[in-house]
Amino acid sequence: MKYKIMETVSSVDIDGQRYLMDSKTANYFSLDPISIYVWEMLKESNDFETIVIRVVAEYNAQKEDVIVDIQSFIHDLIENGLLKVVS
């Protein structure tokens, strides 16, 4: 599955913290280090499986845990109108 970041969304760094900002709704969301890593991969149009593989390798994490966490993060992005499924 691949995703597209909505055109109204940008990421900004403020005082060492990364935020996603939606200019359409004026909502913002803070990201933790792993979420930042996933967000950067979403910007590169990586598919879900590639993102999981890279996070498992980068953070030496259990694949099952990574799948659940990334699914939750992506679900939140979609629910808040920051991301959409394209394939």
pLDDT of residue 18: 95
CA 43 from centre of chain = 8
pLDDT of residue 1: 86
* pTM of this structure: 0.90
| Neighbour count for residue 86 (Cβ, 10 Å) | 9
Coil, helix or strand for 85?
strand
pLDDT of residue 87: 82
**What tens digit of pLDDT does each residue of 24-67 get?**
999 999 999 999 999 999 998 889 999 999 999 999 999 999 99
pLDDT of residue 53: 96
